[in-house]
Amino acid sequence: MVPSRLPTISVIVPVYHGGEGFKQCLNALCRSDMRPAEIIVVADGNVSSDSETASAVGVHIIVLPERGGPARARNEGARAAHGEVLLFVDSDVLAPPGTVGLAAEAFARDPAIAALFGSYDDAPAAPDFLSQYKNLLHHYVHQNGREDAFTFWAGCGAVRRDVFLKLGGFDESYQRPSIEDIELGYRLKRAGYRVLLHKTLQVKHLKHWRLRSLLQSDIFDRALPWADLILRYGAAPDDLNLKYSSRFSVVLAWGVALGLACAPWKAAALAPAAVMAMGLWILNAPLYGFFFRRRGLGFAVGAALLHWLYYLYSSAAFAAALLRRLFRSGLTRAIGVRKAASSLDRP
């Protein structure tokens, strides 16, 4: 049953050199079954093509003179918005016509929900292997996460405007597309708010991934800052990318890698490496079975190998973040001790 009174929705789209995907994004939003109160485009830097694209469909445009990152752009859009709920949509996704209505109905049905987010669908637009792998992995992880979420996702995520402003919005120290949405999710949960993973809310991702951009995003924009966030808050919930099965998979992946590295000198190392590889396959069988059902055996095998590589570099990034934090803590303590000793030496 649809609630009789739905909250007003302001859609906010940050963009920087959006291109053809941005045009498709806005056209899809303009075809929404439920008309939003407004669509606000925030051009993150004075890029004339982005402003022209937004002007062509008649939406509200905010142009920031210099690029400051999507966190700042979304915050500027939120401050200008009038809707009761802010729906953030990335400029490289297609939102189905029912997206705005689904978000509005969820908030109206449960007043306890402060924020919600969805996922990419299982039919990514870019046909190449890396893009299919990356987006299907995202879809699977979100679709198998807990509905009572510990995080937030701004690719297609909504939050009550009063709650968003009360918490100060996104952290603008993230000046690249990074984990500013995850960080907001942590603050929402720490403040006692409920965040819903709305599994019916799915959008199509248009991004074309290349190996360099994938590794840069996964390591420098995700793994390293996310590790810092976990260490800062002391919270790593058993959900999404942080499930205990994923943590055990990291141990097995390093076992396989070390076994293969030792094999040229000691062939016997291949036996434990094979056992651990089998354990990795079994532990992640539901995901690899999903890959097989969607794209076939060859894709599933290739995706599994890339997934094992992901376990290696993401865990290495976490270790680097931990060492960096320990070094900074030790350096801070050493400076404090030196200052204290210096003050004692004064007459």
SS3 71: helix
Q: Is residue 89 part of a domain?
A: yes
CB 155 within 8 A of CB 142: no
Residue with tokens 């790593």: 236
Q: Which of 161, 188, 209 is the last residue of a domain?
A: 209
What pLDDT is stored for residue 334 in this prediction? 44
Cα–Cα distance measured from residue 345 to residue 347, given in angstroms and rounded to the nearest whole number:
6
What is the end-to-end Cα distance of the chain in Å, rounded?
Answer: 79
Burial class (CB in 10 A: 0-12, 13-18, 19+), 128: exposed
CB 183 within 8 A of CB 167: no
Considering the domain architecture, whether residues 204 and 245 belong to the same structural domain is answered as: no
Reported as a single tens digit per residue, the pLDDT across 293-316 is 999 999 999 999 999 999 999 888
Which token pair is 153?
Answer: 């996702």
Q: Is residue 230 part of a domain?
A: no
Which token pair is 196?
Answer: 């819903």
Q: Domain containing 263: what range?
A: 241-342
Q: Which DSSP symbol is given to 223?
A: I
What pLDDT is stored for residue 236 in this prediction? 65
Which residue, 307, 142, 137, 326, is CA-closest to 228? 326
Q: Is residue 177 part of a domain?
A: yes
Q: What is the pTM of this model?
A: 0.89
Which parts of the chain have pLDDT scores under 50? Answer: 331, 334-347
Considering the domain architecture, whether residues 202 and 252 belong to the same structural domain is answered as: no
Reported as a single tens digit per residue, the pLDDT across 205-235 is 999 999 999 989 888 888 888 888 877 777 6
Q: Which of 193, 209, 225 is the last residue of a domain?
A: 209
CB 333 within 8 A of CB 310: no
Q: Is residue 214 part of a domain?
A: no
Give the count of domains, the chain.
Answer: 2
Rg over CA atoms, the chain:
23
C-alpha pair distances (Å), 182 with each of 1, 170, 333: 32, 9, 30
What pLDDT is stored for residue 291 in this prediction? 97
Burial 52-65 (b: 16+ CB within 10 A, else e): ebbeeeebbbbbbe
Considering the domain architecture, whether residues 162 and 276 belong to the same structural domain is answered as: no
Q: Is residue 304 part of a domain?
A: yes
User: CA geometry: angle at 111 spanning 108 and 117, to 5°?
Assistant: 75
Q: Tell me the CATH number at 81.
A: 3.90.550.10
| Pairing mode, strands 194-205 and 93-94 | antiparallel
Considering the domain architecture, whether residues 177 and 93 belong to the same structural domain is answered as: yes
Considering the domain architecture, whether residues 169 and 266 belong to the same structural domain is answered as: no
Q: Is residue 291 part of a domain?
A: yes
Q: Is residue 215 part of a domain?
A: no
CB 185 within 8 A of CB 195: yes
Cα–Cα distance measured from residue 215 to residue 286, given in angstroms and rounded to the nearest whole number:
24
Q: Is residue 3 part of a domain?
A: no
